[in-house]
Structure formats: structure tokens, C-alpha cells
């Protein structure tokens, strides 16, 4: 005769654990609730909105090299 009590207790514990899990997920806040979300990665940055997505690469630094006459020898100097 203890079988119905075990079933009731098991279902009660299942419902309580489901409610606890739901309450735990509701305590966390979303960081970004905007329509446009941007993320910065190691190599590139990407933005996504409901209609499109954009990936932007970081610009490569410009290196300028010139040839300079130094003591009668042409030397390559990069700045």
C-alpha cells in the first residue's frame, strides 16, 4: 500500500526540481538586449542584426620603406 505514496512523492519532487531550475534560470540577466549585437574576436569583429550580418577585419598597419644613402651605401629604412 506504500506504492501510491511513493508515486505522489516522486511527482512532487519532480515538479519542485523543475520549478527550482526555472527560477534559477530567471535570476540571470542578459548582457545585451539590443537589436544589434557586436562581438570583438581575436582577428575580426562581427555585428549581427535581425536582417543582416557584417564582419569587419582589423586594418593592417601601413609600413613605408624608403632607400637612404648612408656613407655611400643605400640602406632600406622602414617606418
pLDDT tens profile 1-42: 557 788 888 999 999 999 999 888 877 766 655 555 566 655
Helix (H) or strand (E) holding 22: helix 3-26
pLDDT, tens only, 38-68? 666 555 566 766 676 676 666 777 888 899 9
Q: Which domain holds residue 29?
A: 3-78
| Dist CA 44 CA 57 (whole Å) | 5
- How many domains does one find in the chain? 1
Q: Which of 25, 47, 21, 23 shows the shortest CA–CA distance to 36? A: 47
Exposure letters 40-56 (e unless 16+ CB within 10 A, then b): eeeeeeeeeeeeeeeee
Amino acid at each position: 500500500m506504500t506504492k501510491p505514496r511513493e508515486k505522489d512523492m516522486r511527482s512532487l519532487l519532480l515538479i519542485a526540481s523543475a520549478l527550482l531550475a526555472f527560477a534559477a534560470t530567471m535570476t540571470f540577466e542578459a548582457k545585451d538586449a539590443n537589436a544589434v549585437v557586436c562581438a570583438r574576436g581575436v582577428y575580426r569583429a562581427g555585428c549581427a542584426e535581425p536582417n543582416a550580418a557584417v564582419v569587419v577585419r582589423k586594418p593592417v598597419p601601413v609600413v613605408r620603406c624608403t632607400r637612404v644613402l648612408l656613407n655611400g651605401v643605400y640602406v632600406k629604412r622602414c617606418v
